[in-house]
Amino acid sequence: MNFLRGVMGGQPAGPQQSGAETIQKLCDRVASSTLLEDRRDAVRALKSLSKKYRLEVGTQAMGHLIHVLQTDSSDSEIIGYALDTLYNVISNDEEEEQEENSQKEAEDLGSQLTDALINEQENITLILRLLEEFDFHVRWPGVKLITALLKKRCGPVQGIILVSPMGVSRLMDLLADSREIIRNDALLLLQQLTKGNAAIQKIVAFENAFERLLDIISEEGSSDGGIVVEDCLLLLLSLLKNNSSNQNFYKEGSYVQRMKPWFEVRDDNSGWSAQKVTNLHRMLQLVRVMVSPVNSPGAISSCQKAMHHCGLLQQLCAILMATGVPADILTETINTVSEVIRGSQDNQDYFASVNAPSNPPRPAIVVLLMSMVNERQPFVLRCAVLYCFQSFLYRNHKGQEEVVSTLLPSTIEASSITAGQLLCGGLFSSDSLSNWCAAVALSHALLDNPAQKEQLLRVQLATSAGTPPISLLQQCTNILSQGSKVQTRVGLLILLCSWISSCPIAVTHFLHNHQNVSYLTGQISENQGEDERLVQGLCALLLGICICYNDNSLENHTKEKLKQLIEKRIGKENFVEKLSFISKQEQYSRAAHQPQPTGPTPEHMLFDHQFTKLVKELEGVVTKSVYKSSEEERKEEEVKKTLEQHDSIMTQYKELIREQDAQINELKEQVVSLSSQSEQMKRTVAQQVLQIQQHRDQHSILKLKLEKGSQQAGGQGEEAQMNGLQREELSRLREELQELRGRSARLEAELADRNAIITSLNSERAQTVNGLENNAETLKELEALRSRVASQSTQISQLQAEKQDLLKTAAQSAKEAVDPAASDLQSLLTAQTQESQRLKEEVRRLAESGAGAERQLASANSSVAVLEAERARLQEELAESRKEQDDLLMLLADQDQKITTLRSRLKALGEPIEDEDDLDSQDQGDDDDDEPDD
């Protein structure tokens, strides 16, 4: 505390000395008294002196008061006195009517005492802990003290509260206090706490702040409520502005829908109180925060959809068309509607369908444009209407077409007023602000829409009775050349630049009148005053656009001739300097900052936000075009064509890869199908094996029966019967053996055919592989050729750069005529030129070689495709042949086994079998011998 006394000065003599002594005695009493009542009385006395003797109480008693808060927390009365005393010495509420110097000293004193208090973080934590006490005499002074500390030292106090356990939660609990004065002061505290601190804003939002604040607003009567509603809205603005996380939480929590009742318009709109106007103004600001252009496009789009679906946009449009609405609320409502519909097709379509309650009904857009071109309307209102019209046309090609169509000949009744008529009327009125607003609005109808730029060329205007109509483009240039006000000319130049940029047809129409070029060059070449600098810069930009987007269809105004005109009449350096005047304007920087057109006065309205983007995009292009020679342009065109060819080749390769992927997928499907067929074949083979096993079992049973019958035969009759059975069995077995031999012969013949087919397929496969290898070598050669072309292109670029440097050096040497090395430079230049020509010829030859290689590649690719298809077919046939060969081998093995078995049975039955060749004849003889017995 002695340090603070030294910084803020000693104690003056006189009455102040007695006050200081009194305070010293009270401090001693607080420190030394053992009775709680004595300490309480001393703290109460300090409180009464704290406003008059802020310095003395702050420097001498602050430590004692903190000690009281720590030790006497059970007594709410003394705690309340201590908190009130600290609040009085820190705040300077009583100093408002003092002089400026005294006010500044009081502020410095409060800040220094605040630093002394928050120097120990435990002091803030102690005060936050005391806020848990429900007693009014403790909680209310604590809220006021924290608020005062935040006002004095917002950042440090925010940091302490943020790291304090449950610090933010304790402050949020104050909103649930049933005593309105504490709740209302808690709103002010939270406003200071959340100011500029995103971390605390997030914590407060997730502590259910949105729900509580919206409930308070509803309880207090929404827009008809008092100052408490305004405080809630200010806190909501503090939580949502520039905080994407809280905005997303607000939208996902369906809190946007709860804003709709705020804007319900009653039939009786009279008697708008000042507080209601303020509340509604804050509510509109809150809507704009959610759809501000500075937010991310995704967040804006989702909020716009939510506002449309819940009916909030409809409510805002109702206020827009209502009667009796104050001017400032109407202006802010127009700005809010502008940002709700900006870039949202659904919202723009709805806004286009809104009609004013007039007889006959008129579209809201027409009614608003009538206000924009009316010079008797307030300036801010006209700017708001322009912003609304720009937002309606932003990324809205349908709306742009509708606006331009109202300027074209149609079947619309002559008595009806259209947007196009109002824009033309404002474009050619005597009010310069109307001229500027109409020109900028019309330029937005052409933004990023070449089709409407061409359509606008068809517009014809009847300037006076008895004279033929002239085009809108010609009328704009006529007014421009008449030397009207700066604001009017700036607006017309903005319209013309936006119109003819990226539209060669419009450039041709503009250059067709040779007076336009004369006017532009005359304006640029003159040395005019400061006010005319902007006009000169815009004229330079317009002339540069005529060069950049010139299709050379007019012989007298080709790119090269316009460049020569600039060099002779203006000078390239002077032209570029005049062009740079645009971006150096203060109004340019302000317009580039935000889409909404604003200005302190009507005369300051010179730039449009979208036009600043166009200037930024074209300034470098125009400068480069002016300095670029025809030879360089030709070379750039060649390089561009080469790149396009390379892109075309890459596209072809991509298509080839896609086709190959499709073929691979088809082959994979075939493999799956063949796998399923193989599984089915395996199941068939298994069934056949099972049948063979059953036949073997039957044979074994029959053999057993025969053996059993031969053992039991006792007489001749039985023996004859057994011989009859044996003959029948032998006959049947001979037939089966003959059939199996025939099948075996057929299978062997078919197997020989399959082997021949396999041999042929293998040879064709080898030829296919050789063809593919040759194609791969061709592809490698083509890649090497492309690499060589790229290397030569790089060398040409380097030589061109060296040539440009040598040209500049040679030009400077020629002007000075004193450099003896000029001849050497000239010879070097000639050599470089010859080298450049040689390299160009080499590039041409390589390009021809590359084209030939490309044709070879195309032919090879087609051959490869055919060979691949044939190879796939042959591979399938080869696989099928191999499978069938395996099946035949298995069948042959089975047949051989059966033949061996049958021969064994015949031998067992007593038949003599010497060899297979004689078996048939022997069997036939046996049959003849057996016939008489039968």
Q: What is the pLDDT of residues 312-331, one digit of tens each?
A: 999 999 999 888 889 999 99
CA distance 87 to 188: 15
Sign of the Cα torsion 564, 570, 576, 582 reads negative
Q: Crossing angle, helix 227-240 and helix 180-193, to 10 degrees?
A: 30
Flag whether pLDDT at 147 surpasses 50.
yes
Confidence at residue 12, expressed as pLDDT on a 0 to 100 scale: 45
Residue 541 CA, chain-centre distance (Å), reads 31
Q: 529-544 pLDDT, tens per residue? A: 777 889 999 999 999 9
Tokens 């987007």 belong to 549
Flag whether pLDDT at 713 surpasses 60.
no
Instruction: Give the residue with greater pLDDT, 248 vs 771.
Output: 248
Of 49, 52, 58, 171, nearest to 115 (Cα)?
58
pLDDT-derived band of residue 834, with 50, 70 and 90 as boundaries? low
Instruction: Give the residue with greater pLDDT, 824 vs 708.
Output: 708
Instruction: Give the residue with greater pLDDT, 763 vs 777.
Output: 763
Q: Which two tokens stand for residue 583?
A: 């971006």
**DSSP type of residue 605:** -
Q: Which two tokens stand for residue 75?
A: 């007594």
Of 546, 486, 492, nearest to 521 (Cα)?
546
Residue 310 CA, chain-centre distance (Å), reads 25
Flag whether pLDDT at 775 surpasses 70.
no
pLDDT-derived band of residue 127, with 50, 70 and 90 as boundaries? very high
Instruction: Give the residue with greater pLDDT, 216 vs 873.
Output: 216
Amino acid (1-letter code) at residue 757: I
CA angle 171, 177, 182 (to 5 degrees): 75
Contact 56, 11 (CB under 8 A): yes
Taking the alpha carbons at both ends of the chain, their separation in whole angstroms is: 146
Q: Which of 458-467, 487-496, 790-799, 892-901 has maximum average pLDDT?
A: 487-496
Characterise 395 by phi-psi region: left (phi > 0), alpha (psi -120 to 50), beta (else). left
Flag whether pLDDT at 184 surpasses 90.
yes
Instruction: Give the residue with greater pLDDT, 1 vs 574.
Output: 574
Flag whether pLDDT at 758 surpasses 90.
no
Flag whether pLDDT at 923 surpasses 80.
no
- Mean pLDDT computed over 86-104: 66
Query: How many H-runs (helices) and E-runs (strands) does the chain carry?
Result: 39, 4
Beta-carbon contacts of residue 297 (< 8 Å; ≥ 6 apart): 343
Q: 550-602 pLDDT, tens per residue? A: 988 888 899 889 999 999 999 999 999 999 999 999 999 999 999 999 989 99
Instruction: Give the residue with greater pLDDT, 354 vs 34.
Output: 354
Instruction: Give the residue with greater pLDDT, 754 vs 486.
Output: 486
Residue 337 CA, chain-centre distance (Å), reads 23
pLDDT-derived band of residue 10, with 50, 70 and 90 as boundaries? very low
- Mean pLDDT computed over 470-495: 92
Share of the chain above pLDDT 70, in %: 73
DSSP string covering 669-696: HHHHHHHHHHHHHHHHHHHHHHHHHHHH
Residue 98 CA, chain-centre distance (Å), reads 55
The burial of 190, by beta-carbon neighbours within 10 Å (0-12 exposed, 13-18 middle, 19 or more buried), is given as: buried
Residue 68 CA, chain-centre distance (Å), reads 58
Q: How many CA atoms lie within 13 A of 756 on its CB side?
A: 6
Provide the greatest CA pair distance for the chain: 170
Provide the 3-class DSSP secondary structure of residue 928: helix
The reply to whether omega before 360 is within 30° of 0 (cis) is: yes
DSSP string covering 787-807: HHHHHHHHHHHHHHHHHHHHH
Confidence at residue 930, expressed as pLDDT on a 0 to 100 scale: 45
Characterise 605 by phi-psi region: left (phi > 0), alpha (psi -120 to 50), beta (else). beta
User: Length of the chain in residues, anyone?
Assistant: 934
Provide φ and ψ at 740, rounded to 5°: -70, -35
Within 10 angstroms of residue 925's Cβ, the number of other Cβ atoms is: 10
Q: 336-354 pLDDT, tens per residue? A: 999 999 999 999 999 999 9
Flag whether pLDDT at 382 surpasses 90.
yes
Least-confidence region, from 206-210, 282-286, 372-376, 628-632: 628-632
CA distance 444 to 447: 5
Q: How are beta strands 470-471 and 460-461 bridged, if at all? A: antiparallel
Flag whether pLDDT at 301 surpasses 90.
yes
- What are the start-end ranges of the H helices in 408-460? 419-427, 432-444, 450-456
Instruction: Give the residue with greater pLDDT, 525 vs 103.
Output: 525
CA distance 677 to 679: 5
Rg (CA), the chain: 50
Of 240, 238, 218, 237, nearest to 228 (Cα)?
218
* Average pLDDT score, the chain: 81
Within 10 angstroms of residue 832's Cβ, the number of other Cβ atoms is: 16
CA distance 181 to 144: 11
Amino acid (1-letter code) at residue 710: S
Provide the 3-class DSSP secondary structure of residue 471: strand
Contact 869, 875 (CB under 8 A): no
pLDDT-derived band of residue 308, with 50, 70 and 90 as boundaries? very high
Q: Which two tokens stand for residue 556?
A: 């007298």
Q: How are beta strands 362-363 and 355-356 bridged, if at all? A: antiparallel
Least-confidence region, from 93-97, 107-111, 298-302: 93-97
- Mean pLDDT computed over 79-97: 80
CA distance 146 to 524: 63
Confidence at residue 934, expressed as pLDDT on a 0 to 100 scale: 36
The predicted model scores a pTM of 0.67
**DSSP type of residue 414:** T
Confidence at residue 199, expressed as pLDDT on a 0 to 100 scale: 93
Q: 128-146 pLDDT, tens per residue? A: 999 998 999 999 999 999 9
The burial of 148, by beta-carbon neighbours within 10 Å (0-12 exposed, 13-18 middle, 19 or more buried), is given as: buried
- Mean pLDDT computed over 792-821: 50
Q: 649-659 pLDDT, tens per residue? A: 888 878 888 88
Within 10 angstroms of residue 224's Cβ, the number of other Cβ atoms is: 12
